[in-house]
Amino acid sequence: MFRTALCDLLKIEYPIIQGGMAWVSFAELAAAVSEAGGLGVIGSGSAPADWLRKQILQAKQLTKKPFGVNVYLLSPFVEEIMALLKEEPVAVITTGAGNPGKYVPALRDVGTKIIPVVSSVALAKRLARSGVDALIAEGMESGGHIGEITTMALVPQVVDVVNIPVIAAGGIFNGRGFVSALALGAVGVQMGTRFMCAAECTIPLQVKEAIIKAKDRDTTITGASLGHPVRSLQNKLTKKYQAMEKAGISSEELEKLGMGSLRATMVDGDVQNGTIMAGQVSAMVAKIQSAREIIMETVEGANKVISNLNKLVVQKP
């Protein structure tokens, strides 16, 4: 048992959300996480609605438990995706890269909870006003498109300015990170990188091996000069990209270089010339485990941390 207010809000057993990762978290992973008592999330990225419909139907076959869909609000297909999500509702929608405010009433009507991801206090304040159910505060330890604030600094600041539940994301790997997030005022956590190495995650084995091999300084940030920083594992492509950024190459050229690079890794397994978006906890991932093992290890670890906290603090007689 490890319940917080998030479990009641989302009707799940453990307050652990699996990050909705484009090209990475498909129905198999999402269903496995939900079956294990967390909230699995299908990453829809820039995929068309037809693709997402198949994914949702597949997940509904694999689990009767609640699961979610992550909607990338800059997707060219966002309108048809939102229309689909009214027709084929899911329990939860997490959103990235924008304000889901205008979709809130229709999604509410079909019983979907809406949880945007935010990376700053100003965004948190703005999105909390649009009638959403909770927020995910994502620190810059995360993989993929990131903000500039660390989880440690961001979560308590967001908690202090909104009156809806806050979930912490970025740099969370195990029971220690989980309890830290609760101490910062969060009601739960979102983990992405660790679930990339779940047995049920369908990305190529080479990508999982690259994450397992990674050490503490092996992620890097590209695109900061364009105002869109992205964290990924250092490889041939990130080095080339950074050299071009330094040389002042135009943003159009840089965007061309990045185009299709996530797919190249996550579908074709090209770990040198594609983008391996992954967070700083890559260094802590040591093996492939089932989604259930990941969740149970995190929950059991958290229980141990909590029972040891009293021993850590010297009590005066």
The residue (of 24 and 27) whose beta carbon lies closer to ligand TUI is 24
- Rounded Cα distance between 41 and 150, Å, is 23
Q: Which residues contact 12 (CB under 8 A, 6 or more apart)?
A: 6, 34, 37, 38, 39, 65, 66
- 72 counts as binding ligand TUI under rule CB under 6 A: yes
User: Least separation, in Å, of the C-beta of 29 and ligand TUI?
Assistant: 16
Residue selected from 36, 140, 166, 262 as contacting ligand TUI according to rule CB under 6 A: 262
- 119 counts as binding ligand TUI under rule CB under 6 A: yes
Angle (nearest 5°) at CA 132 between 129 and 135: 95
The DSSP code sequence of 216-267 is: TT-EEEE-GGGT--EEEE--HHHHHHHHHHHTT--HHHHHHHHTTHHHHHHT
Contact region with ligand TUI (CB under 6 A), list: 4-12, 94-102, 205-213, 309-317: 94-102
Comparing CA positions, the residue from 158, 94, 159, 81 lying closest to residue 132 is 94
Contact region with ligand TUI (CB under 6 A), list: 31-39, 85-93, 144-152, 158-166: 144-152
The residue (of 209 and 255) whose beta carbon lies closer to ligand TUI is 255
End-to-end Cα, the chain, rounded Å: 32
User: Least separation, in Å, of the C-beta of 219 and ligand TUI?
Assistant: 13
Number of residue whose CB is nearest ligand TUI: 144
- 96 counts as binding ligand TUI under rule CB under 6 A: yes
Count CB-CB contacts under 10 A for residue 53.
Answer: 15
AA identity, residue 238: T
Residue selected from 65, 113, 145, 194 as contacting ligand TUI according to rule CB under 6 A: 145
Site residues (vs ligand TUI, CB under 6 A): 22, 45-46, 72, 96-99, 117-119, 123, 138, 144-145, 147, 262, 277
